[in-house]
Amino acid sequence: MSRRGSRKPEKGEAPGKGRVSLEPFSGGQMNFDELGGRLRSIYEEYDRQASAFVANAACSKGCALCCTDVGNIDITTLEGLFLLKQLDTLEAEVRSGIRQGLLRNKAERERGLLSRCPFLSDEQLCLVYEVRPFSCRQLYSLARCSGGPPTVHRGALDLARRTVMRIQDLDAMGYSGHLSYILHLLHGKGFRRQYLRGRSDPSTIAIFGRSHGIAINRFRRP
């Protein structure tokens, strides 16, 4: 993975300044670090179970067709928090470019257009690879993609569906939806504060949620 754009905290920078708050989650029963560990465990278990499927994948570094002209990249609010936290570690110029890309992605998807992932660098590398959401982690193809869909095992699809349900169960007080839509919600301080306290109220985002296909994790269908 390219580490281009990462930065060290500046001298004198207050701890957590400008970063996602690591407040307790779900009424103080969980914290961000604990949830992060459990999310990583789900990712790692999927990787172990899917290893036989992806062993002969045709994917390689710099192959980014799945990132350049894509429709929905579904994530949970929990995964969105990790993306925002990682975003804060990047250089100011890189952060600015990503934020502009998120706005562009949101506008293009609202018009029903395919859109480039805002976290993809000019070198066709993922700028947030370590915390990429499961929608990206599950992608592979047994044959080179030439504008068509990937070639995958049916078993891998079934495993991915079960994994998505586990992630949504972990983020039971949160939501699922397209990447730029979920990050748009999380940028709202009021929404983020309530979510981190486990007090998310679907009625507060009802209009946006209905128009943008946002799913409430605890009400999602099996």
Confidence of residue 86 (pLDDT cuts 50, 70, 90): very high
Decide if pLDDT at 162 tops 70: yes
Q: Comparing C-alpha atoms, which of 40, 76, 27, 63 is closest to residue 198?
A: 27
Inform me whether the pLDDT recorded for 149 exceeds 70: yes
For residue 9, pLDDT over 50 is answered with no
Tell me how long the chain is: 222
Over residues 134-146, the mean pLDDT reads 88
pLDDT value, residue 221 = 60
Listed in sequence order, the residues at least 6 apart from 89 whose beta carbon sits closer than 8 Å to its beta carbon are: 6, 7
* Structure token pair of residue 165: 């349900």
For residue 13, is pLDDT > 60?
A: no
Average pLDDT, the chain: 84
Nearest to 43 by CA among 79, 73, 2: 79
pTM value?
A: 0.84
Q: Is 68's pLDDT higher than 50?
A: yes
Phi, psi of 76 (to 5 degrees): -95, 165
Our measurement of the distance from residue 198's CA atom to the centroid of its chain's CA atoms, rounded to an integer in Å, reads: 19
Alpha-carbon distance of 105 to 128, in angstroms, equals: 16
Rounded to an integer, what is the distance from CA 123 to the centroid of its chain?
20
Residues 60 and 64: their CA atoms lie apart, in Å, by 9
Between CA 185 and CA 19, with CA 13 as vertex, the angle to 5 degrees is: 15
Residue 217 or 150, more confident: 217
Share of the chain residues as helix, strand and coil, in percent rounded to the nearest 5: 50, 10, 40
CB 159 within 8 A of CB 193: no
What distance in Å separates the CA atoms of residue 113 and residue 163, rounded to the nearest whole number?
28
Q: What is the pLDDT of residue 200?
A: 78
- Strand 74-76 versus strand 175-178 pairing type: antiparallel
pLDDT attached to residue 171? 95
Q: What is the pLDDT of residue 24?
A: 38
Q: In this prediction, what percent of the chain has a pLDDT beyond 70?
A: 85
* Residue type at 198 in one-letter notation: G
